[in-house]
Structures are given as C-alpha cells and as structure tokens.
Structure 1
Amino acid sequence: MGVLSTLAGVVALTSVLVPEVAAQSCSGVNGRFQPRMGSGYRYSVLATGLRQPRHLVVDSAGNLLVAEGGTQSVRRLVLQDQGNIVCVQSNTQVVSGTTNHGIALSADGQTLFTSNLASVTAYSYNANTGQVGQGRQIITGMSIQGTHPTRALATSKFSPDTLIVARGSANNIDAATTSQSSGRSMIKTFSISRVLQSPVDYTQGGEVLAWGLRNIVGMTEDPVYGGFWSVENQMDDLRLNGRDIHNDNPAERLSYHGQLNATNNRYKGLNYGYPSCVPAWDTASVGINGLLVGSLFKPDNVPNVAASECSNNRMTGRLHFHAHTAPLDIKFNKNATSAYIAFHGSWNRNPADGYRVMRVDFANGQPVHDVTSKTAQIPVMENSNIGACPFNCFRPVGLAFDDKGRLYVSSDQSGEIYVIYGA
C-alpha cells in the first residue's frame, strides 16, 4: 500500500510536466539527457565534463563558482548571454584540494568559504578578476570515519558576520548524537570575524542552531523575511517492531530554524529527534494510530527514549517529502514566493524515486501547504526515464540563482550544469 500510494503521488506530480523537447545549447555543449520540464519552465545545458560538481554560488559579478567533489577544487565559470540562453565564456580552476561539497561567499562577496570532510577554509576573493588569496583553515576537527562526508555551508544577508556549517552523522544510526558533545548531526553558527582571527574546533566552538538532524546537506536563508531553512536526508533501512518499513519511511524533511539575526530566536538550539525519533511519510505502513505525515515516532534499534519524547519534546519539520529522495540543496527565488529543492534520488527504495528539481510555494515567509501535506512539491525538472537512474540519468545536487532569476543546477553523476529559466 505504501509503495502504491507513493507511486500514485509520483504519477500525479509528473502528469503536469510538458513533453520532452530538445534544449537550445551553447556551442560545443551537448547534454547527455533531455529532462522533462514543468509548465512555464525551459532549460539549457551550461557545461559538461566537470568532476562531480556539487554546490554552487554566484558571485557579485555574476560568475558561477562550482565546488567539484571529484577533484576537491573550485572552478570559476565566467558567463555570457547568447540570445535567450546563458553560456560559459571561460572556465578556470581557482582553488584546488580543499573542498568536496560546500561553498559559500560572505555577504560582501569578498571572502570565499569551502568545506571538506575535516575543515572549512577561507580565502580572500575578487569577483571581477577571479583572484583568490591564500587559504586559511578556520574551522577544524570535523573528520570522522563514516557515512556522511559533506559539510554544507551557508552565509547570511541579515546576519553578515555569521557562517553556518552543518555536520552529519557518522553512520546511519549514530547513537552518540543523543548528546550535543558529539558535535555531529547538527547545524552550528560561527562568527566570521572571530574564526578569521583564530580558528576553532567544530565540536568546541560556535553555537548550536539545531541538532538531532541526521544529515543536513542543503541550507539557505529566505532573502525577504530572513528565515533560515534546511533540508535533511533521513534514516535508511528502517524497521518497526521487527517489520521492514523502510521503502516509504521515514520522510525527508524541510525544517525552519528562525531568523539568525533575531534577538530572541525561539527555534535556536531545538532538537529534531534523530537518532531516536524519525518523521513518518507513509503512515499506513507505520501502523501507529493517529500518526500524521511528519509525526515523529521511535523505530527499532535506536537509542531508547519514551514515546512521549518523540511526540512532545522533539521538533518536527515544516514540510516533508518522499522517503529516500535525498534533498541536497534548497534556494529561494528573489521575492521568496518559492523555494526550489534538488532531490538527488534514492538508493534505499524500490522502485527508485527522486532525481528531480521541485518547487515549494511560500507566502509571508512560510510554505503555503500544511505540515502534513503530500502535495506541496510542484514539478520543475525531472528525468524523462527514472528507470535509468541512478547510473544513467542526471542527479541534481547544487542550486544557485543569479540576479536575472536564472537557476543553475549541478548534476554530479553526469558532470553537468543546467540552467532553468522561468523560476
């Protein structure tokens, strides 16, 4: 029943996609796939041949900076309009050997931050020339042997001295993360001016913005209302009372963390339940009376807590998504009426799901849909043949808007960057 309900949801989502059409291409750029686009959207292929492009950022001069996981480098793509699409004028490596995923620019655009398994590094950066200064490690002590090597980064327009760094769990069920002292499965904020003067250990420094979050790979700030948001990859191989319920549970999660510059942010420091409490997606397969989409429950083989702890003393998400679809980034459009989410796609469910970019509509700084909604996602870009995934399809990872409202999307599996118009 859970599989059928999820498949029905996918069919409903994809039914509003327009037929496949050949995308207009830049000279010498030939994309491997032809995505299906949601109504009102079109796309072009910006670049191919990259080495596992992960997160992206657009600098103050309109250039695209790309974190390449495959080479642990940063590439700078100088862009140029060509008719009704944008193309790459030049492509150069500006940083090497310091990143596997995360990248961010300070609010003034003059400091570049990258992250890898062990640390965060800062560089002076000139958007006009592409000149990058000598790198300095500013946050250390994050290396662990385990499942989640990404260290998502974000900065804030509303709190410009703040750097936000996420660190995931050491494995699927990381029992030590029931304590903040583990320094894992959490989001922390750091004063940029302080860490530039004196580097800190992640576990010892900074302030906890949120914890009990299994693996945060994407974070962003609402550009109008200033709210801070994250998308989370939840637990695999879930069992409850000896039953295998992993195919459609737990839900992936969009969480709200308040305004970073608020004097009294009531969301700061909240615990979201992991590893003892997980959010439901397919409530029927869970089989707990009264459980709603997003409600937290305790599965098998996790650190013990009372059931009331999950329902009363842990924070749940603001919206929830299909199990195992792996949201890896989130970005708002300029007027904050929509948030776009990159779903990298599943490995832990059958049939596969995800591998798409979706939109969630917002009003007054919050999603328009209720927390229990299963229909909040609106199709933007999907694979035309999801059956070919994960090895022969595009897998969205990073998102970045430019000042013209164009949305850049990286695909690490295919080494490509797409541009979505109409976002």
Structure 2
Amino acid sequence: MKTLHHYRKSVLTVIAVGLLATISISCDDDDDDFWDAFIPETDKEATSAQIQGYVFYPALQPASDENVARLKVPSGFKVTKFAEGMGKPRILATSEKGHVYASDREAGIVMMLMDTNGDGVADDKKTVANIKQVHGLYIHDGKMYMAAVKEVFMAGINADGTLGQPRMLISDLPDGGQHPNRTLAFGPDKKMYISVGSTCNACPEPNPENATLLRAEADGSNRKVFAKGLRNTIGFGWHPETAELWGMDHGIDWLGDDEQKEELNQIKQNADYGWPYIYGEGKYNPGDRPKGDTTYQQYLQKTTLPSLTYQAHSAPMAMTFYTGSQFPQDYRNDAFVAMRGSWNRSSPVGYKIARVHFENGKPVRFDDFVTGFTVDNNKAHFGRLVGVAVHSDGSLLFSDDTNGVIYRVAYQ
C-alpha cells in the first residue's frame, strides 16, 4: 500500500507491507543482518516496512553563460558549449571523420553536427533520420544502428556523414513501460547488444526479455537473453584493454533517500543481477518476494553482485570508455558516465559527469569530472545529462535534453 501526501516540492511516501507489525527501516543502514532479521525468507511470516520517500524536481534555469561558467572540471580542463538549440538531445555517437550524431526521442529524429573549422563549436547541423521514438545510436562497420522502443534500424553512412534510408532489422522488442529508452552497441565479438529495461519500478516481468541485455547477430537475427536481472542498464561498454563488458544499472525507487544505490556491474553471459528481488550489496527488496518456494537466500546465491555502487537516485545514463589522446594518459581506458540526476530524493544528487577510475582493468572508484549543474542552493538546475561520447579530436561531448545543449570538455 502506498500513501502520498503531496506538497509543492516534495511527496512523503509511506509504504507498508504486511498485517502484523510496522517496522521502521533506516535507509542509511548498510548492515545486511539488520535487513535479513526483519524480512522473512518465505511468505509464511508477515513482511512489514515503513520507508520515507520524496519527490523533488529542482526548478529549471537556462544554460546561460553565467551558469555555464560555474561548471567545475579538474585542473587543465575546460567545458564549453559545442552546440545549443538542439531540442532534446539524448544519445550521442561520433565518427572517425568528426561527425557527431544525436538522437531526439521526443522529436523522432537523428541530428548530425559538424565543427568544420575546428574551433570547438558545431557550425553545421542537419536532420539525417526520422524514426519515431529513436533513442539508441551506435556506429559499426560503417553503418549507423538506431534503436527505438520496439525496433532496431540500420542505415549506411554516406561520405558526407548523412545517412541512407533506414532499414528495419528488428520489430518486436518488448513494450517499453516505465523504461522505454533502448540503447545498443557492438561488442568485440561483432554481435549486437541491446539493453531492454524493466516495464516497472520493481515487479516480476511476464516477458523474459525485459530487464535484460540481449545479444543478436548484426542483422538482428538469433536474438537471445545475454544477462538478466538488470533493471535499466542504459550505459554499457567494453573495457579497451580487457574486452570485459561493464554497465551502469539504475536502482529501485521508493526505498528511501539512500537506497537503492546505482550499480556498476561486470556483465557476464547468463548471469543474473538480482532485480527485482536482490539489490545492492545483496539486500532483500521488501516489496517483491522470489517466486514459488525460492527463498531470498537461495536467490541471493545465484545473484551476481555489483563491482562498485554509486549514490542512489543519481540516474546513470550513457557510459563511454576514453580512448582518445587529448586527455592526460591517466584518463586513458577510464570510463565516463552521465548522471542525469535525482527526482526521488529529498535533496538532489547526480546532475554531473562522473569518471570511473580503472586500475589493471578493474574499476576502483568514482571521481567527479563535471559538476555544478545544480544552483540556487540545490533548488534549481540547468542540465539533466544523457549522452556521452568521445569526439574524434579527443574531447568529451555530453548532452543535456532539458536546455538542448551539447557540451564539450577539452584539455588545454
């Protein structure tokens, strides 16, 4: 049962499950034994939890020169606008020839940008594809692959960067529901990988392809579930040295300010990452019990836990590994993640670009890379970030779909 008392800026949500008792669970408590003691393994005993939840959307300010000047990056870096007036740019893709592509899901278009004079600002923009609800973009073998909610398209890339007529490869991906933002990429095995999010916040999915990463041939055939239990892994990619697959998964909402943390997973074939029953460092989700006679402990034993976690509700979006030569050597083969920012939290988090620092091919920590998008004492923002990509000149590009800006980070 969920009760909401709505105010202008926040919603207090109390979730109570069970009939016998009400147990107050602190969402800051990271002790698994604490959670295990109050969440029974089977439904022969009542489960009861009271959790405070919030809705807080910071107000939107323009991406003015004054606001952009407040952005913070590490010493030696500079962040500027690469393009503006872009509508609602989402996922970015870049070509070796310097073409920059951005999807606009709401407009149903793919745009192409060029910086023809090399001054760090796009001076040529055109629409190169019209596909309803297009979102995911990826360039492979001289072709552009584009994912909508239920479809995947492929188009040839012309010499000038424009696209040929899109050809549909897949038409029957699962319905979108709560998470319709499909993304796709090609791995070292030359196979197509497609992320399909869950239809809900937390629920058993009737379609086995929801909350998964799918793998198919380049022509869309032979589609199979590669990994499951992934609530919404929009950003994923292969480490340039190890060829291991990594992805950022969105945590469950309505578990409080500090739960569920976002997950960085090493994604392996046939692995189960726990959603919706197990989350974070092996915690039980009180709202959903494993099916049949399976206990939480039994499900935990077959769950692959994350390698790193990140502040809950930061909303990780696109992720890319840095393979350029412009940044200092220490950045090479690290990953950048666009953190869109929270709405299900009393004070905002996210709204930044984070760096995932890798050592010997393994992630060891998250570092801030671009911050400062929240202003007015965290009551407002001027950017919720989505796409991230490495430009052919070695700079980093990222998109904001609230003010229609694509930003560029360069090392001076």
For residues 387 and 32 of structure 1, the distance between their equivalents in structure 2, rounded to whole angstroms, comes to 11
For residues 253 and 383 of structure 1, the distance between their equivalents in structure 2, rounded to whole angstroms, comes to 23
SS at match of 1:182: coil
Match of 1:122 among 154, 170, 177: 154
Alignment match, 2:369: 380
Match of 2:213, as an amino acid?
I
Q: CA RMSD in A?
A: 2.5
Match of 1:44 among 75, 80, 86: 80
Alignment match, 2:340: 344
Query: Which residues of structure 2 form unaligned runs of 5+?
Result: 1-25, 31-62, 325-331
Does structure 2 conserve the Cα–Cα contact (< 8 Å) formed by 1:51 and 1:69? Answer: no
Q: Which has the higher helix share?
A: 1
For residues 386 and 31 of structure 1, the distance between their equivalents in structure 2, rounded to whole angstroms, comes to 11
Q: How big is each residue's C-alpha offset from its partner over 1:186-244, in whole Å with a ceiling of 9 and x where there is no partner?
A: 0011110x43xxxx5xxxx4132211000111111222321211111111012xxxxxx
Q: How big is each residue's C-alpha offset from its partner over 1:274-332, in whole Å with a ceiling of 9 and x where there is no partner?
A: 011111xxxxxxxxxxxxxxx11112221334232344210011111000100001111
Alignment match, 1:152: 183
Match of 2:120 among 86, 101, 105: 86
For residues 191 and 384 of structure 1, the distance between their equivalents in structure 2, rounded to whole angstroms, comes to 40
Q: CA deviation at 1:145?
A: 5.5
Which TM-score applies when normalising by structure 1?
0.76
Alignment match, 1:252: 262
Alignment match, 2:173: 142
Q: CA deviation at 1:60?
A: 2.5
Q: CA deviation at 1:363?
A: 2.2
Alignment of 1:408-419 (within 5 A): 408-419=397-408
Q: CA deviation at 1:381?
A: 0.6
Does structure 1 conserve the Cα–Cα contact (< 8 Å) formed by 2:282 and 2:305? Answer: yes
Alignment match, 2:312: 323
For residues 298 and 345 of structure 2, the distance between their equivalents in structure 1, rounded to whole angstroms, comes to 28
For residues 342 and 361 of structure 2, the distance between their equivalents in structure 1, rounded to whole angstroms, comes to 29
SS at match of 2:195: strand
Alignment of 1:8-407 (within 5 A): 33-34=68-69, 35-82=71-118, 85-106=119-140, 108=141, 110-126=142-158, 128-144=159-175, 146-156=177-187, 158-160=188-190, 162-176=191-205, 181-192=207-218, 194-195=219-220, 205-238=222-255, 246-257=256-267, 267-279=268-280, 295-304=281-290, 305-334=294-323, 336-367=332-363, 369=364, 376-383=365-372, 385-386=374-375, 392-407=381-396
Q: How big is each residue's C-alpha offset from its partner over 1:25-55, in whole Å with a ceiling of 9 and x where there is no partner?
A: 9xxx968633222333211101111121111
Alignment match, 2:19: none
Q: CA deviation at 1:144?
A: 2.0
Larger radius of gyration between Structure 1 and Structure 2: 2
Does structure 2 conserve the Cα–Cα contact (< 8 Å) formed by 1:391 and 1:413? Answer: no
Query: Which residues of structure 1 form unaligned runs of 5+?
Result: 6-24, 239-245, 258-266, 280-294, 370-375
For residues 309 and 230 of structure 1, the distance between their equivalents in structure 2, rounded to whole angstroms, comes to 25
Does structure 2 conserve the Cα–Cα contact (< 8 Å) formed by 1:30 and 1:48? Answer: no
For residues 390 and 227 of structure 1, the distance between their equivalents in structure 2, rounded to whole angstroms, comes to 39
- Report the number of matched residues: 344
Does structure 2 conserve the Cα–Cα contact (< 8 Å) formed by 1:397 and 1:409? Answer: yes
